[in-house]
Amino acid sequence: MEKTILIRIGEIFLKGNNKSFFLALLKKNIIESLDGLDFKLITTNNRMYLEKYNDSDEAEILSRLQCVFGIHSISPAVKIATDIEQIAKVCCELFPKEGVFRVTVNRADKRIDKTSSQIAAFIGGVMLKNSNKLKVNLFNYDFDVEVDIREKGYSYIFYKRIPCAGGLPVGCSGNGMLLLSGGIDSPVAGYLMAKRGVKIYAVHYHSFPYTSEQAKEKVLSLARTISRYTGEIELYVVPFTDIQYAIKEHCPIQYMITLMRRFMMKIAEKLAKNTGCGAIITGESLGQVASQTMESINVTNSVVNMPVFRPLVGFDKQQIVEISKNIDTYETSILPYEDCCTVFLPKNPVIKPKISYALDFESRLDCDKLIADALEKTEIVRCHFK
């Protein structure tokens, strides 16, 4: 008898020619997420099994696996030589001794002469005899004892299915450059795109000395928190103050945010190209603030030549807050440190900016030099969940 963790994979993605690519990537991501722990990972056609781990690490392993995209659910299980009486005995020993239950048998080994329902009835009967606090109900139960009889003479038994993060393995959809602020929305946007298989790189613009060291730390901490799901994030911290000074000095203040956003996008695109990212990701949600109207989005979008993913575009703030609480970024996001956008915030930002005006104002600036200088002073930080 041996302890095992059964890992179920999102089934839809197992079809077609991409199957082996998908499985290899998922395997790599699982191994990375369990860094520092002892285990052996076995891959079969549509499942994985984790074996040879230390009992004392089990809770940690289960919690880390729940954050690996591409895993549908997991079950801590016992692997045992196929012997129906022995299986029934182990169920009595290891599983709850009170409550309402049922037994479900999956018999892949057709050498066994009993049917699945006969085996289930037998095991259920032994469990009922063993404890008078147990009851069987096939439709309305507290737990389902599952017995998976494999072909090669052994079986897996378990009674818990722990739902996991779902989605696709990070990396299978390419790389994306996330504009990461210290706010609530952008970490959620990064999480959602990683869930669709995008490996996340991130860029943060900061306005030292107007924004503090703590404001930067907050962003690093957000990146570390989501890296639990996304894997390690390479974060580019770009100094933004000189660009803001230049805009403030030469352009109308109502266009401050619009022009800042255009700079942010241009720089993000350059970084994206350098890092092999095929898309930019932002936390924008339509109509949330003046810079997120359709017209504003059009004016900022028009400076880049690659897809910009805005996974939150149709989300209400409340929905975004819920996700941020679930992924543990909320408490950090609401810490009251200034963002570079709030520092130079105009009283009446333009709500329907025009591309022609933006171009006109930008012609007063040496945009290429401002961008090159900012990139040269950019700091790269590797953010990893520990």
Taking the least distance from each CB to ligand ATP, the nearer of 112 and 286 is 286
Closer CB to ligand ATP, 50 or 341, in the complex? 341
**Phi, psi at residue 279, to the nearest 5°?**
-160, 160
104 beta partners: 146
The total of other beta-carbon atoms located within 10 Å of residue 95's CB is 19
d(CA 160, CA 74): 8
Total of residues contacting ligand ATP (CB under 6 A): 21
Binding window for ligand ATP (CB under 6 A); candidates: 17-25, 37-45, 82-90, 281-289: 281-289
- In angstroms, what is the minimal distance from the CB of 179 to ligand ATP? 3
H-assigned helices in the chain = 19-33, 58-65, 84-94, 116-130, 185-195, 213-230, 241-250, 256-274, 294-301, 317-326, 330-333, 340-343, 355-362, 367-376
Q: Are 239 and 200 in contact (CB under 8 A)?
A: no
Among 102, 107, 204, 216, binds ligand ATP (CB under 6 A): 204
Question: Judged by CB under 5 A, does residue 183 bind Mg ion?
Answer: yes
Residue in 186, 230, 301, 329 binding ligand ATP, rule: CB under 6 A? 186
Binding partner of 340, given Mg ion, ligand ATP, none, CB within 5-8 angstroms per partner class = ligand ATP
Query: Which 3-state string (H, E, C) describes 27-57?
Result: HHHHHHHCCCCCCEEEECCCEEEEECCCHHH
Q: Which two tokens stand for residue 226?
A: 């989501």
Give the one residue of 227, 282, 296, 329 binding ligand ATP; rule: CB under 6 A: 282
Rounded Cα–Cα distance for residues 259 and 244 (Å): 9
d(CA 107, CA 116): 6
CA–CA separation, 27 and 29 (whole Å): 5
289 touches ligand ATP by CB under 6 A: yes
Listed ranges 46-54, 141-149, 182-190, 246-254: which one lies at the site for ligand ATP (CB under 6 A): 182-190
For the bound state, the minimum distance from the C-beta of residue 197 to ligand ATP, rounded and expressed in Å, comes to 20
From 43, 175, 254, 288, residue interacting with ligand ATP (rule: CB under 6 A): 288
CA distance 175 to 193: 10
Helices 317-326 and 185-195: angle between axes, nearest 10 degrees = 70
**Count of residues touching Mg ion (by CB under 5 A):** 3
Toward ligand ATP, which CB reaches closer, 234 or 339? 339
Cβ nearer to Mg ion, comparing 146 with 339: 339
Is position 179 an interface residue for ligand ATP (rule: CB under 6 A)? yes
- Measured from the CB of residue 7, what is the shortest distance to ligand ATP in angstroms? 33
Q: Which two tokens stand for residue 240?
A: 């933004």
- Radius of gyration of the chain measured on its C-alpha atoms: 27
Question: Should residue 180 be labelled a site residue for ligand ATP when binding is judged by CB under 6 A?
Answer: yes
Q: Least Å distance between CB 246 and Mg ion? A: 21
- How many whole angstroms separate alpha carbon 12 and alpha carbon 245? 51
Backbone φ and ψ of 317, nearest 5° = -55, -40
Q: Are the C-beta atoms of 186 and 280 separated by less than 8 Å?
A: no
Smallest separation, CB 289 to ligand ATP (Å): 5
Q: Which of residues 328-347 bind ligand ATP (CB under 6 A)?
A: 339-341
Partners of residue 237 on adjacent β-strands = 204, 379
The answer to the question of residue 181 lying near Mg ion (CB under 5 A) is yes
Q: Which residue is nearest to ligand ATP (CB)?
A: 183
From 35-43, 142-150, 180-188, 290-298, span contacting Mg ion (CB under 5 A): 180-188
Give the residue from 225, 189, 223, 221 showing the smallest Cα distance to 319: 189
**Number of separate helices (H) and strands (E) present in the chain:** 14, 15
Closest approach, Cβ 386 to ligand ATP, in A, equals: 24
Please report whether residue 291 would count as binding ligand ATP according to CB under 6 A.
Answer: yes
Q: Which is nearer to ligand ATP, 74 or 243 (CB)?
A: 243
Binding ligand ATP by CB under 6 A: which of 146, 148, 185, 234? 185
Q: Which residue ranges make up the site for ligand ATP (CB under 6 A)? A: 179-181, 183-186, 203-205, 264, 282-284, 288-289, 291-292, 339-341
Q: Which residue ranges make up the site for Mg ion (CB under 5 A)? A: 181, 183, 339
